[in-house]
Amino acid sequence: MEYIALHEFLLNPSDALLLDVRSPAEYEAGHIPGAVNLPLFTNDERAQVGTEYKQRSPEKALLLGLDIIGPKMSEIIKQVKKYKVQDVIVHCWRGGKRSQSMAWLLGFAGFNVKYIQGGYKEYRRNILNSEFFKDFKIIILGGRTGMGKTGFIHTLRDMGEQVLDLEELARHKGSAFGHLGESSPPTNEQFENNVAAVLQKFDKAKRIWVENESRLIGGIVIAQELWNKMKAAPLLNIEVSEKQRLNNILNDYGHFSKEELIASFKKIEKRIGGQNLKIATEAIEVDDLTKAIQVALKYYDKTYDYNLSVNTSPDIHKLSLDGENIEAQTKTIIDYADRNIRFN
As annotated, the active-site residues are 92
Candidates 247, 250, 241; CA nearest to 283 is 250
Q: Angle between the 274-285 and 258-267 helix axes, to the nearest 10 degrees?
A: 170
Cα gap 159→150, rounded to integer Å:
14
> How far does Cα 209 stand from its chain's mean position?
15
Q: Are strands 137-142 and 2-4 parallel, antiparallel or unpaired?
A: unpaired
Residues ≥6 apart with Cβ < 8 Å to 316 = 234, 235, 237, 308
- How many other C-beta atoms are found inside a 10 Å radius of the C-beta of residue 60? 13
Cα gap 122→162, rounded to integer Å:
27
The secondary structure of 45-62 as a DSSP string is HHHHHHHHHHHT-HHHHH
